[in-house]
Amino acid sequence: MKVEDLIFYQIYPRSFCDGNGDGEGDIRGVLSKVEYLKTLGVNAVWFSPCFESPNKDNGYDIADYRNISPKFGTFAEFENLLRIFHENGIKVVLDFVANHTSTEHEWFQKARESKDNPYRDYYIWRKTPPNDWQSLFGGSAWQYDEKTKEYYLHSFAVEQADLNWENPKVREEMKAIVDFWVDKGVDGFRCDVLDMISKDFEADKNGNGPKLHEYIREIFGRQETENIFTVGECWGTTPENVRLFCAPERRELTTVFNFHHLCVENGRFNAGKPDLREVLQRLSYWQELTQKLGLTATVFLGNHDQPRSVSRFGDEKTYRYESATALGGMVLLHCGVPFIYQGEEIGMINSAHTQISQFRDIESLNYYQANIDKIATEELIKNINANGRDNARQMLPWNEQAVKSWQGDYAHRTQINVEKDLASKRSVFQFYKKLIALRKKYSCFTKGEYRLVELNENYYEFERRYTGERISVLFNFGKRSVHPDKIKGEILLNNYETVAENLQPYQLIVYKNASR
Ligand code: TEU
């Protein structure tokens, strides 16, 4: 399968489907939903980490890279899953967490034993903190370790120690892990915070260091990894960096997730409603840029770290169906590899917690602790409800029956669940299915050129062209109706039943060979 034909669905293993009723997602659950994924039409799945982990950061703290978390299933069950996905034409991409391991990983357990342990240099130790780098989850990134009286670096939780990529042994270990899974038959990797593996102490930067590209080539530029799909999670990308990561002749990555279009709010938790126009403007900028450079882009509006896109960019109260379907159109009709995050296909919205005890995510809990004396509790809860990562981690509601869940039950379960959506006349899932079918039918979506036609306060129009095909996508992203110039043409898709003179709130219309 060609890269441009891939249509991804991200599964967050702990929250996708619970097959044994213990309150956590598992392989049995995933296997019961293969038909669901096939009906939707996706042909690739990215699994967030499903390896052994104490779950301080939900699997992004890996204790054993070669073992499946027993909560998720056995190794044999995983091999079976892989086989079944492949038989059904679905590629499987795993998460590769290369910047850090859990402090429960045996490498770290040994490293912390003594300064001369052979594993000591697998991690980054200093007598005193050499800088004031902060953990992305709050507080200093340097943690004092009693036993050997030195500090180790942890860019995320205290229990996630950063690996020392300067050490060739670490790079060998990482290659062996990649090869282990490639040998098992997985089709690629999503690489967690990949741009952080090379540090730059001199320039005082915890990432995008001078050896970054060299390291990536060392791992993924080999014959063994020639045919796999790789996507690097790179927060601090610049256009130049993206070119370096993705230019095929450099043999680094297939593509990257860059987050410019999702970094539109001021600050992490006290954000306020973001401006969708700004999001679309940035998305459009990256579309044009990757196209100009001949690189593969990714397109996504959510993942397991982001609030629900409908709540964030759409209107979850009055126009949930319309905004969910139109945002789906933004993901599936642009240029590059689209990624649907679980639950987007039924228009899931943010949760509405009322108490801090209902949140699970370490980033949100640390934010709460750090601000409890400064900001009123209601305000803190409001901020976490709007911006926190638990929103994306609610168990996917398959039907309206309440379930036991590590997250607590989804607050909107009775209004929003798969069964109800599928039975509804206004089914978000059915619209996603149509979007995917459209993407598969017209080569201009997979191979075609992207051209921005118009972007103003609440109206976005772009065109995709390939040989004789020309398709226009019109999106009114405001709550007012807008009046684009009169358009004629064959309507391929419309998230309203009618086409009035004005485009209705969150209306998305796709025209073939439109003319004015
Ligand atoms: O995310 C990297 C990252 O920078 C996020 O933690 C981000 O700061 C936060 O979500 C606010 O938007 C990756 C994973 O996707 C995330 O789940 C992990 O917690 C993190 O790395 C550490 O592995």
Per-residue pLDDT of the chain (516 residues; tens, 9 = 90+): 899 999 999 999 999 999 999 999 999 999 999 999 999 999 999 999 999 999 999 999 999 999 999 999 999 999 999 999 999 999 999 999 999 999 999 999 999 999 999 999 999 999 999 999 999 999 999 999 999 999 999 999 999 999 999 999 999 999 999 999 999 999 999 999 999 999 999 999 999 999 999 999 999 999 999 999 999 999 978 999 999 999 999 999 999 999 999 999 888 997 688 999 999 999 999 999 999 999 999 999 999 999 999 999 999 999 999 999 999 999 999 999 999 999 999 999 999 999 999 999 999 999 999 999 999 999 999 999 999 999 999 999 999 999 999 999 999 999 999 999 999 999 999 999 999 999 999 999 999 999 999 999 999 999 999 999 999 999 999 878 777 777 889 999 999 998 888 899 999 999 999 988
Cβ-defined contacts of 182-187 (< 8 Å, 24+)? 182/224, 182/225, 182/228, 184/79, 184/82, 185/82, 185/83, 185/86, 185/92, 186/82, 186/92, 186/93, 186/94, 186/228, 187/44, 187/91, 187/92, 187/93, 187/228, 187/229
User: What integer pLDDT is reported at residue 236 of this predicted model?
Assistant: 79
Tell me which of 192, 252, 316, 461 is the catalytic residue: 192
User: What integer pLDDT is reported at residue 261 of this predicted model?
Assistant: 96
- Torsion angle defined by CA atoms of residues 497, 500, 503 and 508, in that order, rounded to the nearest 10 degrees: 30
With vertex at residue 55, the alpha carbon angle to CA 50 and CA 52, rounded to the nearest 5 degrees, is 40
Nearest atom of ligand 1 to the alpha carbon of 60: 23
How many angstroms separate the first and last alpha carbons of the chain?
37
- Is position 233 annotated as part of the catalytic site? yes
| φ, ψ at 361 (rounded to 5°) | -75, 135
Cβ of 156 below 6 Å from ligand 1: yes
**CA 158 vs CA 37, 124, 364: distances in Å:** 37, 13, 15
β-bridge pairing 100-102 and 91-97: unpaired
Residue with tokens 């978000």: 428
Cβ of 265 below 6 Å from ligand 1: no
Query: Under 8 Å CB-to-CB from 485, ≥6 apart: which residues?
Result: 516
Residue with tokens 């996917």: 396
* Closest C-alpha to 249, from 213, 302, 200: 213
* Closest C-alpha to 6, from 47, 34, 44, 41: 44
User: What integer pLDDT is reported at residue 72 of this predicted model?
Assistant: 98
Cβ-count burial of 422 within 10 angstroms (0-12 exposed, 13-18 middle, 19+ buried)? middle
User: What integer pLDDT is reported at residue 487 of this predicted model?
Assistant: 85
β-bridge pairing 8-11 and 337-341: parallel
What are the residues facing 419 on neighbouring strands? Answer: none
Cβ-based neighbour number of residue 294 at 10 Å: 10
Nearest atom of ligand 1 to the alpha carbon of 97: 23
Cβ-count burial of 473 within 10 angstroms (0-12 exposed, 13-18 middle, 19+ buried)? buried
CB of 262 within 8 A of CB of 279? yes
- Is position 305 annotated as part of the catalytic site? no
Beta strands in 184-320 (DSSP E): 188-192, 229-233, 255-257, 298-299
Q: Report the alpha-carbon distance of residue 312 to residue 323 in Å, rounded.
A: 10
CB of 194 within 8 A of CB of 174? no
Cβ of 393 below 6 Å from ligand 1: no
User: What integer pLDDT is reported at residue 204 of this predicted model?
Assistant: 98
User: What integer pLDDT is reported at residue 78 of this predicted model?
Assistant: 98
User: What integer pLDDT is reported at residue 270 of this predicted model?
Assistant: 79
- Cα(305) to centroid(ligand 1), Å: 6
CB of 266 within 8 A of CB of 272? yes
User: What integer pLDDT is reported at residue 380 of this predicted model?
Assistant: 97
> Mutation test of ligand 1: which of 11, 102, 155, 193 has the most ligand atoms closer than 8 Å to its C-beta?
193
**CA 388 vs CA 63, 267, 347, 359, 372: distances in Å:** 25, 12, 18, 9, 16
Residue with tokens 């370790």: 145
- Cα(241) to centroid(ligand 1), Å: 20
User: What integer pLDDT is reported at residue 485 of this predicted model?
Assistant: 74
Residue with tokens 């939780």: 157
Cβ of 262 below 6 Å from ligand 1: no
Q: Report the alpha-carbon distance of residue 65 to residue 105 in Å, rounded.
A: 9
3-class secondary-structure state, position 128: coil
Beta strands in 79-165 (DSSP E): 91-97, 100-102, 125-126, 142-145, 150-153, 160-162
Cβ of 192 below 6 Å from ligand 1: yes
Q: Report the alpha-carbon distance of residue 429 to residue 436 in Å, rounded.
A: 10
Cβ of 193 below 6 Å from ligand 1: yes
Q: Report the alpha-carbon distance of residue 78 to residue 314 in Å, rounded.
A: 37
pTM: 0.98
Cβ of 142 below 6 Å from ligand 1: no
Tell me which of 18, 57, 61, 233 is the catalytic residue: 233
User: What integer pLDDT is reported at residue 403 of this predicted model?
Assistant: 95
Query: Under 8 Å CB-to-CB from 157, ≥6 apart: which residues?
Result: 56, 57, 61, 135, 137, 362
Query: For residue 492, which amino acid is it?
Result: L
Angle between helices 239-246 and 276-293 (to 10 degrees): 50
